Amino acid sequence: MSENSDTLVVEGLSGGYDRFDVIHDIAFRVGRGEAVALLGPNGAGKTTIMRALTGLLARRRGRVEIDGVDVGSLPPHRIARGHAAMVPEGRRLFVGQSVEDNLRLGGLRHRRDRERTEQLLESVFELFPVVERYRRREATALSGGEQQMVAIGRMMMSDPSLMLLDEPSLGLAPLAIADLSAALRRLRERDHSILLVEQRVDLALEVCDRVYVVYGGRIVDEGRADDIGAEGRALIDAYLG
Ligand SMILES: Nc1ncnc2c1ncn2[C@@H]1O[C@H](COP(=O)(O)OP(=O)(O)OP(=O)(O)O)[C@@H](O)[C@H]1O
């Protein structure tokens, strides 16, 4: 069972699409204020695990506890109400809306609490000055790296117990990835509980306290980022192909 210090506890999580399971007996945890990465090659099941945590995977079994609440059988809109929020792969910003509107849409669950909404908006702007600078621009007109900051800000606006990021570096230029790494480290310093799915081992090790390796729908290895030396990195690289 979960310790008080854990934001996320997953036990025996299996599930998939149609009749086939693509994730099998997954167990892992994210401590309070901890940043954890799921690393693995294409098709390993990382996104499917994220979808199971947010309730989007219709066929799932096992235990998912967030901040002591069993969310395993809750529908996505209930889980989104403060338990977990995700930056999806490809960002999926609202097209035709300004940066600020995208952020406010992320904070809809506080819509009756104006003060809270403004506080959250300020904390996003403090973390990402570029987002404040472009708050009136159309979100999808920004560069890929800037859009990623907006997507992270939109997730922050719902003030979730657990923050999920699905391959935030995908499609970004090297300079934008360096900015993203710095942004994620600032986010982590604020003691948020973060689960990051990545194919970039370097980014995950810069940002996270611990990593799990996902392969063939199972967790096959885990370790502390600090303890993973050149040998561990080579092993992970081998898994990632
Ligand atoms: N909607 C779907 N319907 C059927 N099968 C799916 C669906 N989405 C994913 N799969 C299958 O589930 C398996 C795991 O996919 P998943 O997207 O979770 O992997 P991933 O590790 O996130 O990889 P990627 O980095 O490519 O997103 C793959 O074999 C994939 O083909």
Q: Hey, where are the domains in the chain? A: 1-83+161-173+188-240, 92-159
> 211 forms bridges with which residues in the sheet?
37, 223
Round to whole Å and give the CA distance between 108 and 215: 36
3-state secondary structure of 163: strand
- CATH code of the domain occupying 1-83+161-173+188-240: 3.40.50.300
Residue by residue, pLDDT tens for the chain (241 residues) are 445 689 999 999 999 998 899 999 999 999 999 999 999 988 999 999 999 999 999 889 999 999 999 998 899 999 988 999 998 877 788 888 899 999 998 887 878 888 989 999 999 999 899 899 999 999 999 988 899 999 999 999 999 999 999 999 988 888 889 989 999 999 999 989 999 999 888 899 999 999 999 999 999 999 888 887 776 777 777 777 6
Q: Using a 6 Å cutoff on CB, does residue 75 contact ligand 1? A: no
Q: Which two tokens stand for residue 120?
A: 């959250």
Question: According to the model, what pLDDT value does residue 4 have?
Answer: 65
Distance CA 148, CA 161 (A): 20
As for the ipTM of the complex, it is 0.92
pLDDT, position 93: 86
Burial of residue 25 (CB within 10 Å: 0-12, 13-18, 19+) is middle
1: its two tokens: 């069972």
Helix (H) or strand (E) holding 59: strand 59-66
Find out whether the beta carbon of 48 lies less than 6 Å from any atom of ligand 1: yes
Tokens in use for 16? 């998939």
Confidence at residue 2, expressed as pLDDT on a 0 to 100 scale: 47
Q: Which of 22, 198, 215, 218 to mutate to test the pocket of ligand 1 (most atoms within 8 A of CB)?
A: 22
What is the H or E stretch that residue 123 is in? Answer: helix 114-127
* CB distance 17 to ligand 1 below 6 Å: yes
Tell me which DSSP letter residue 40 carries: -
